[in-house]
Amino acid sequence: MLALFLILPLFIIGCTPHDPIQRASEDPFLTAPLHLSFNVRVLFTDSARTKAVLTAGEAKVYEDRKQTLLGNHVHIEFFDKTTQQRVAELDSDSAEIDDGTKNMVAIGNVRVWSDSSRTLLTTTRLLWDEETQRISTNEIVHIVSPSETIDGKGLESDQFLSSYRIFKVRGVHKQ
């Protein structure tokens, strides 16, 4: 009888369901990038023609999130398909690339220069849409072209800054 009183509590404790072990979401093995590279240079080509050249101080690839993070100054040069001359360039502090859609968000001190329209765009955040080949932002923008300087908030444009729309114009200065 005494043995029954000693064994019964152990049996009850042993049969109770246990919560599975939860790993902390901050676990460095779960949140670490799959690939980490420094002083990155990537050529984007199509049929042996260079479309763009990207350089960045570092790149982190997260395969599970389908995301690539670029940091330590991002610089991209875009080239014309036929002449192979540079047509535009983009600089930013960092960038996030959706590896599924190939869309990119440039973040921090974003500067876009168009050689063809001789236009400079500066903002703090800019989305480049791969499918439409267009750029957009909801942030404050400053545009300097040969004919005018425009300040506003929000922008939608082609990637060469030759045809753009500013959502809320705050000021225009003709050159």
* Domain edges within the chain: 28-174
**What's residue 20's pLDDT?**
63
Q: To which CATH superfamily is domain 28-174 assigned? A: Lipopolysaccharide (LPS) transport protein A like domain (2.60.450.10)
pTM of structure:
0.77
Collect all residues with Cβ–Cβ distance below 8 Å to 119 and sequence separation of at least 6. 113, 143, 144, 145, 146, 161, 162
What is the distance between the alpha carbons of residues 114 and 90, in angstroms, rounded to a whole number? Answer: 9
Q: Is the pLDDT of residue 137 over 90?
A: yes
User: In this predicted structure, which of 49-53, 91-95, 134-138, 170-174 has the lowest mean pLDDT?
Assistant: 170-174
